[in-house]
Amino acid sequence: MKVLDQNIINNKDYCSAITGYYMTLNNNSAQINIDYLISITIFLFAIIFVFQFTSGLFTPFQSDSDETTLIADRTSTLIVENMMSVGNVAVPNLVNKTKVNEFFTQLDGDYDPTIDAIGLNGTYHSYNLNVSLDNSTAVINSAGRTLPSSGNLGQTKRVVVLMDTDSGTTENAILSVRVW
């Protein structure tokens, strides 16, 4: 058995693990080994896949700063769950149509006191607010300052169920809160 192993080592012959072909190591023809070519191709495809996949992880964050996006998210939570809510803790996105209309009227009429009540006016920095409510066909209501053409704008959209307490009917809507 040792004689056979020694002959294989002396001849420098081996069998490829990927292709299964019997090859010799004394080949000086300057051609790329098929196993090497296949393994490099698989490695490059893996690297390309990783870069392609990880580039999409950060796409939802369109704002230059996480600060304004977080403030918009907390503001939308405060508006929906405290100011517009029907009062059912089990369904936090169920909003009262009358309270929604009162909020938009208050935000358009008394902007500064409403911003103070929400907590967007501070001694260090003050933020502006724009809120809109859309259904599947049109804008239901919109209030607040006009959106700037440039700058750091944080936006949060929440799906809410708009309930008319008089008739009991409900309608799905999207509440968009923009802070800058």
SS (H, E, C) 21-80: CEEECCCCCCCCCHHHHHHHHHHHHHHHHHHHHHHHHHCCCCCCCHHHHHHHHHHHHHHH
Contact by Cβ (8 Å): 166, 172: no
pTM score over 0.75: no
Summarised one tens digit per residue, pLDDT across range 123-135 is: 888 899 999 999 8
- Does residue 5 sit in helix, strand or coil? helix
Q: Please tell me what DSSP assigns to residue 85.
A: B
Mean of the per-residue pLDDT values for the chain?
80
